[in-house]
Structure 1
Amino acid sequence: MLGLGAMGTALARAWMAAGHPLTVWNRTPARAAAFDAEGVRVTDSAAKAVAANTLVVVCLLDDAAVEEVLAGTDLTGKDLVNLTTSTPVQARARAEWTRERGARYLDGGIMAVPPMIGVPEAGGYAFYSGSRQLFERHQETLSVPTGTTYVGEDAGFAALHDVALLSAMYGMFAGAAHAFALIRREDIDPTSLAPLLADWLVAMAPAVHQTADQLRSGDYTTGVVSTLAMQVAGMPTFLRTAEQQGVSPELLSPYFALMRRRLAEGSGEEDLTGTIDLLLR
């Protein structure tokens, strides 16, 4: 295990608890001291840690750190699992970089925060992409800290799924932030709005399935209840409400602009799926 930040430490402790033989390394030795005291093998270099086992798990700050840490190691014959947050392009390049050094590569994207690691009921999991054979070889071990979901042979797919889901999360947070801002100056307890907001978001979530079906078929008009034309016509109410409440519309405006553009292209009978095509450069 290379890297004992918050996530790396959580992963290491989960494997420890399950009785897996473990060798750890961290750039700052103090972080590894607790493991040394508990009988885990701690090395003073990444190269020594890599030499100790076939399976090498990396969880560092970024892709640059991965290259720096592994630069002086012999990866020949190793199975490298990279759980460092990266972009799809970086993951694909790292896979090729690994192959050039005689090792096998699996990329991962963790959909959990450290307190969820080692707690199956927390619902966390990690995406994995790259060699299916390599994934299947180590799936039992990789499943110890958190669930596993394999998403394809393309090494960049784990990072892509990771960022796609987190991007949707931030979009949800943006909408929730706007909703709370609207009531911020009113005599409305935000804790009374919160359950209504949570239930509403849960109720809206299944709409992603219709969006996916429309993207696959290319027909953006099937099953439409609220057309794009109807929704654009209603936008002034949202903008006026924000203005009257003294709330900036900056979280809504970019999406509204896409809706207007799509409508201007003559797609008023669709729903909102067509805005996705406008995002493609």
Structure 2
Amino acid sequence: MTHHTSTQTSTETSSATGTDVTVIGLGLMGRALADAVLTAGHRVTVWNRTAAKAEGLVSRGARLADSVESAVLASPVSIVCVSDYASLQQAFASVSGDLDGRVLVNLTSGDPEQARELARWADQAGAHTLDGAIMAVPSTIGTADAIILLSGSGTAFETHQPLLAALGDATFLGDDHGLAALYDVAGLSVMWGVLNAWLQGVALLSTAGVDASAFTPFAAQVAQETVGWLPGYADQVDRGSFTPDDATIATHAGGIAHLVRVSEELGVDAELPRLFGSVAARAIAAGHADRSYPALIEQLAPGSRAS
């Protein structure tokens, strides 16, 4: 099968149908990414360790590369989405030589330092990298519902923004290659915080025969009201000023203790609210009882502006 050579530039590989792009890794998410750029009219090269997964894409016009190196050299931009960084390193072990200004968009989940290490490797090979986090499920890729966070080369993001927009709502966070991965885990913290708190409420109300579906509208209302507090609380954290205008940490601690007590009395696991309480207790012991709730940031991030 014929591939573009490594001497082609971004200009030479452009056409009326779009900018050439390679997609490496054809799991559920990788196939969704490749499908999105095909649908947007881009010429696509694909590679996967199991070539059979490329059949549907090839039938739609994608080109199948016989190696990772030939796949990367086929296009000015390569989108990489494999299972983990170990798989990424294994796949790219065969890639050597000058990558000639090519762009690697890594959408493989990993931690910030792994993203920075990949950027250093790519830089030595002459490539530019964007590291990304996909905050979406495969079925939403190619729509505005697919949030894709990217960090790294700002020039690469600006140059290839139309291509990246074909994947979803692509947002550039900054030049630190590890920032997208850090946003990813921070977002997961919020997600699991909400889900686990909702489950705690479901467990409590189940002792009175209340179904989860009956509780959920009320839970959503509480969650939405709480979200409304975040901008003001964020301002307090950023300024390092925690004057309470609603309730003090001591007041919150009393409410948490009540939640723990009721949970225990009803035979509901109280580990989660006890954890909340332990953070508040540390703040009170440090002399912050009369501050507002966001002052707990000091307990979670020593060296923050809270003092």
Coarse TM-score class (shorter-chain normalised): over 0.9
Amino acid at match of 2:290: E
Identity among equivalent pairs (%) = 37
Q: 1:237 aligns with which of 254, 258, 265?
A: 258
* Cα deviation 1:203-229 (Å, max 9, x = unaligned): 1112221221111111011x5311111
Aligned: 1:31 with 2:53: yes
Supply the distance in 2 between the matched residues of 1:53 and 1:225 (Cα, whole angstroms). Answer: 56
Q: Give unpaired runs (5+ residues) of structure 2.
A: 1-22, 303-307
**Equivalent in the alignment of 2:127:** 103
1:84 maps onto 2:84 in alignment: no
Q: Give me the whole-angstrom Cα distance separating, in 2, the residues matched to 1:158 and 1:233.
A: 37
Pick from 93, 110, 113: which aligns with 2:137?
113
Give the stretch that moved more between structures: 151-160 or 207-216. Answer: 207-216
Partners of 1:224 and 1:95 in 2: how far apart? 45
Q: Is residue 28 of structure 2 the alignment partner of residue 6 of structure 1? A: yes
The answer to whether the 8 A contact 2:112-2:178 is kept is yes
| Counterpart check, 1:254 vs 2:275 | yes
Query: 1:224–1:270: 8 Å Cα contact kept in structure 2?
Result: no
| Code of the aligned partner of 1:188 | V
- Superposed displacement of residue 278, structure 1: 1.1
Unaligned runs of 5+ in 1: none
* CA apart distance, 1:23: 0.4
Residue in 1 that maps onto 2:9: none
Residue 277 of structure 1 corresponds to 298
Q: Which of these residues, 76, 79, 93, is aligned with residue 54 of structure 1?
A: 76
Matches within 5 A, 1:52-201: 52-74=74-96, 75-120=99-144, 123-201=145-223
Instruction: Name whichever of 31-40 and 148-157 sits farther off.
Output: 31-40
Tell whether the 8 Å contact from 2:146 to 2:167 is kept in structure 1 after alignment. Answer: no
Contact 1:56–1:80 (Cα < 8 Å) also in 2: yes
Q: Which moved more, 1:68-77 or 1:169-178?
A: 68-77
1:214 and 1:133 mapped to 2: Cα distance?
Answer: 34
Aligned amino acid, residue 247 of structure 2: S
User: C-alpha separation between the residues in 1 aligned to 2:288 and 2:298?
Assistant: 12
- The 1-side partners of 2:50 and 2:291 are apart by 55
- Provide the residue aligned with 2:7 in structure 1: none
What is the aligned partner in structure 1 of residue 289 from structure 2? 268
SS in 2 for 1:247: coil
Alpha-carbon offset, residue 51 of structure 1? 1.4
Secondary structure of the structure 1 residue equivalent to 2:260: helix
SS in 1 for 2:109: coil
Whole-Å separation in 2 of the counterparts to 1:78 and 1:19 = 20
Once residues 158 and 225 of structure 2 are traced to their aligned partners in structure 1, the CA distance between those partners, rounded to angstroms, is: 36
Q: Distance in 2 between matches of 1:176 and 1:77?
A: 48
Amino acid at match of 1:34: G
1:204 aligns with 2:214: no
* 2:129 alignment partner, SS class: strand
CA shift at 1:244, angstroms?
Answer: 1.9
Q: Secondary structure at the match of 2:293?
A: coil
CA–CA separation in structure 2 for the residues paired with 1:102 and 1:83: 20
The one-character-per-residue Cα deviations of 1:74-101 (angstroms, maximum 9, x if unpaired) are: 4332111101111111111111111011
Deviates more, 1:67-76 or 1:81-90: 67-76
Match of 1:226 among 222, 226, 247: 247
Whether the aligned pair in 2 keeps the contact of 1:106 and 1:130 (CA below 8 Å) is: yes
**Across the two proteins, how many residue pairs are aligned to each other?**
278
Amino acid at match of 2:182: L
RMSD: 1.3
Amino acid at match of 1:245: L
Report the TM-score, using the length of structure 1 for normalisation.
0.95
Counterpart amino acid of residue 163 in structure 1:
V
For the Cα contact (< 8 Å) 2:237–2:297, is it kept in 1?
no
